[in-house]
């Protein structure tokens, strides 16, 4: 058992496990004691602990130990994936503690709901991948109300977004639409595959079956609402329109009040040239103008990427640049004051993307990860109409989320992202692993060689302005490389990163993310990572409390202090947390500076583990 333990630790970056364990022993034991006391605590409300850069190696070691000991088996997550209900509401939640009045507004959240469809013609259909769970959107309304204790009332509503797809699955007995990772029938022959392609081509012409539920986008310029009259809802915190985004080139519009799906809009409605099937789910807004910037990817032997801008002032969409690049799965990109930067990671698609239609899923169309395939970066000017102005190459890797990007005083471009050494994380997010069905979770999580590739690092790259090409020149190989400024490893950083939105496109200091310390099959805490000092504050609830994306709500300045600069971390975090033991959820409000819990609003039901959200201020 001892030898097995050392072998397992060796996969977590320890050159000599016995020597490293001895050197880090004191730090590891102290950290282990702190974390053990924290997770075994019987307190109702969560609290925060502080870690420093000196704890990074010990933290990595502890993650390996926790998975090796199988602690995730004692952390129930199934209520966040299965048996979820719709609550059209609004229903009042029980508020405990204090939620500040300046956090009033509507918090929209969206993500997967049901992970299976029962009573189909073929029995129960299990959805394979978390990213294909049937879309479900939620809204928490935080309202000032002097008639209630604490002066704040919180109401909850939710709405399923994929009822047509669920109906089609029930009637056909299969998942016939294009998916992210739905596993195909291994017994299907060539003729069956061919017929499936024809069916998918027919289905894709019907947008009713699109499963859209990744990001929330309020008041997107250039998109005309599908419904009239729903804006006068009498609800001061609701936006004019809400569009749900995904990695396909469509938006699903929902009624801001009822969250009823109104219809699906193709990106070609923005511009006729945006005809490719793929976009990043995370389009971005210019923090100064409100313009919407994103890109559209067209498949083929030579893929075409089209970067576009939709003007908040005119509603007109302009193509900023078009360039050839390898078709790949890309979830987000980077935006600075003057540039849009597209990173094409090593998640390449087979046959120029044609395999997606043949296989029916992105995962099955991905090429096996190859360390020789570099990440390619494309820099597009978005201010002066210069088009593509730079190309760079960095070592092979993968990422879902950029955190932020900006330009330094010399005009160099700084890009920050949550990076992975391979695409292995995608396979960890199958429901079989997350729910440990038939021991599949143990099979994956006990495999240290695979597991370590699912741990991210927060990486900051610098791209020199002097490496950009002059106007009129072409980007040619060999491409220059960015310099890696630093990397902060997990578990001192994690996934679903957020920042104070006021710091978009400018230098930031703090990143908030969901971390994985080996207690859960998903996440077990929220980290505030200081990119200057590498100090980390970690909030976590009792054992079995799984948090969701922490959304930063800045403090609204008082009139007497409006001219005084506020701290970057002056605000609160809102996160939906599942108590896996009680099978109920709550909205937690954390002080973004101290990571101490201020208050929570309790649901008497489970809210599904979502992806992303947006807070619409009520002030």
Those residues of the chain that have pLDDT short of 50 are: 1-29, 32-44, 188-198, 200-201, 203, 229-230, 232-234
Q: Which of 255, 338, 256, 248 is nearest to 289 (CA)?
A: 338
CA-CA distance, 242 to 233, in Å (whole number)? 13
State residue 371 phi and psi, 5-degree precision: -65, -10
The pLDDT assigned to 36 comes to: 44
State residue 71 phi and psi, 5-degree precision: -65, -25
8-state DSSP, 588: E
8-state DSSP, 556: P
Q: Is 271 a known ligand-binding residue?
A: no
State residue 57 phi and psi, 5-degree precision: -70, -45
Q: Which distant-in-sequence residues (6+ apart) come within 8 Å of 368 by Cβ?
A: none
Buried b (16+ CB within 10 A) or exposed e, 208-235: ebbbbbbbbbbbbbbbebbeeebeeeee
Q: Which of 320, 314, 305 is nearest to 383 (CA)?
A: 320
The pLDDT assigned to 281 comes to: 98
The pLDDT assigned to 250 comes to: 95
CA-CA distance, 572 to 191, in Å (whole number)? 56
CA atoms within 13 A on the CB side of 325: 32
112-156, pLDDT tens digit by residue? 999 999 999 989 999 999 999 999 999 999 999 988 888 999 999
Q: Is 612 a known ligand-binding residue?
A: yes
Taking the domains of the chain in order of start, what are their residue ranges? 2-617
252 SS3 class: strand
8-state DSSP, 312: T
CA-CA distance, 418 to 470, in Å (whole number)? 31
As a whole-number percent, the residues of the chain with pLDDT over 70 amount to 85
Q: Is 32 a known ligand-binding residue?
A: no
Q: Is 331 a known ligand-binding residue?
A: yes
């Amino acid at each position: 058992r001892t030898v097995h333990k050392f072998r397992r630790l060796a996969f977590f970056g320890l050159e000599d496990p016995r020597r490293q364990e001895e050197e880090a022993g004191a730090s590891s034991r102290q950290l282990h004691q702190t974390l053990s006391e924290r997770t075994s605590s019987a307190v109702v409300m969560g609290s925060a602990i502080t870690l420093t850069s000196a704890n990074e190696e010990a933290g990595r070691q502890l993650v390996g130990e926790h998975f090796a000991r199988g602690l995730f088996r004692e952390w129930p997550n199934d209520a966040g994936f299965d048996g979820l209900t719709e609550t059209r509401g609004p229903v009042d939640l029980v508020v405990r503690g204090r939620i500040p009045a300046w956090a009033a507004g509507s918090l929209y959240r969206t993500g997967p709901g049901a992970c299976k469809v029962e009573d189909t013609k073929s029995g129960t259909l299990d959805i394979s991948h978390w990213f294909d769970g049937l879309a479900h959107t939620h809204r928490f309304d935080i309202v000032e109300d002097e008639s209630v204790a604490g002066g704040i009332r919180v109401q909850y509503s939710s709405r399923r977004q994929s009822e047509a797809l669920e109906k089609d699955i029930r009637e056909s007995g299969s998942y016939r639409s294009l998916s992210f990772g739905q596993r195909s029938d291994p017994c299907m022959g060539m003729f069956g595959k061919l017929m499936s392609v024809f069916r998918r081509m027919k289905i894709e012409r019907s947008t009713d079956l699109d499963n859209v539920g990744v990001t929330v986008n309020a008041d997107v310029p250039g998109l005309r609402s599908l419904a009239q009259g729903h804006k006068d809802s009498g609800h001061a915190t609701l936006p004019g329109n809400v569009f749900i985004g995904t990695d396909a080139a469509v938006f699903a519009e929902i009624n801001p009040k009822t969250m009823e799906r109104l219809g699906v809009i193709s990106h070609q409605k923005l511009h006729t040239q945006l005809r490719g099937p793929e976009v990043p789910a995370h389009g971005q807004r210019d923090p100064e103008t409100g313009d919407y910037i994103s890109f559209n990817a067209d498949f083929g032997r030579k893929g075409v990427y089209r970067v576009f801008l939709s003007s908040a002032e005119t509603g007109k969409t302009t193509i900023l640049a078009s360039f050839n690049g390898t078709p790949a799965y890309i979830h987000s990109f980077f935006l600075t004051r003057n540039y849009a930067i597209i990173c094409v990671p090593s998640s390449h698609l087979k046959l120029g993307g044609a395999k997606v239609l043949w296989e029916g899923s992105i995962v099955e169309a991905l090429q096996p990860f190859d360390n020789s395939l570099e990440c390619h970066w494309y820099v597009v000017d978005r201010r002066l109409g210069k088009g593509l102005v730079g190309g760079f190459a960095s070592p092979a890797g993968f990422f879902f989320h950029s955190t932020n990007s900006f330009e330094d005083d010399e005009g160099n471009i700084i890009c920050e992202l949550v990076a992975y050494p391979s695409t292995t994380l995608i396979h960890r997010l199958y429901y079989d692993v997350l729910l440990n069905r038939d021991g599949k979770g143990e099979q994956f999580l006990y495999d240290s060689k695979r597991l370590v590739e699912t741990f991210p690092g927060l990486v900051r790259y610098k791209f020199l302005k002097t490496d950009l090409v002059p106007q009129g020149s072409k980007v040619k190989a060999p491409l220059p490389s960015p310099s890696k400024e630093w990397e902060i490893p997990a578990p001192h950083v994690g996934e679903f990163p957020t920042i104070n939105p006021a710091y978009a496109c400018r230098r930031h200091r703090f990143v908030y993310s969901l971390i994985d310390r080996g207690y859960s099959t998903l996440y077990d805490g929220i980290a505030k990572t200081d990119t200057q000092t590498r100090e980390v504050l970690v909030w976590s609830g009792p054992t079995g409390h799984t948090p969701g994306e922490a959304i930063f709500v800045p403090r609204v300045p008082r009139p007497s202090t409006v001219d005084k600069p506020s701290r970057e971390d002056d605000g609160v975090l809102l996160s939906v947390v599942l108590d896996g033991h009680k099978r109920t959820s709550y909205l937690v409000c954390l002080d973004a500076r101290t990571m101490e819990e201020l208050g929570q609003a309790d649901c008497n039901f489970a809210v599904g583990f979502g992806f992303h959200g947006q807070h619409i201020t009520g002030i």
